[in-house]
Amino acid sequence: MPQGNIKWFNTKNGLGLIIDQDGSTQVRFHFSVVSQEDYKTLQAGDLVEYEARDGRRGPEATRVAKPPKG
């Protein structure tokens, strides 16, 4: 599963942006696709795993979660 870092996440409207690890792709996401226990703690710079598809405005995440620890 690809990994990237949160560029920004707005908790008021639930929208955010992930930058993939090589910096070439930006992936939009909505909090509804974030693992339930992770969405309230996401901050800029956090490493996440995600699945993406082509959306109306470019790549969009269909699943976002922090990678397992360890």
Domains of the chain, CATH where assigned: 3-65 (2.40.50.140)
Tokens representing 32 are 């509804």
Residues 16-65: pLDDT tens digits? 999 999 999 999 999 999 987 767 788 999 999 999 999 999 999 999 99
Cβ atoms within 10 Å of 52's Cβ, excluding its own:
22
Asked if 61 and 49 count as a contact pair (C-beta separation under 8 A), the reply is no
Measured distance CA(45)–CA(7) in Å, rounded: 6
Identity at 42, one-letter amino acid code: L
What's the number of CA atoms in the CB half-sphere (13 Å) around residue 46?
20
pLDDT of residue 70: 66
pLDDT of residue 40: 74
Q: Is 41 helix (H, G, I), strand (E, B) or coil?
A: helix
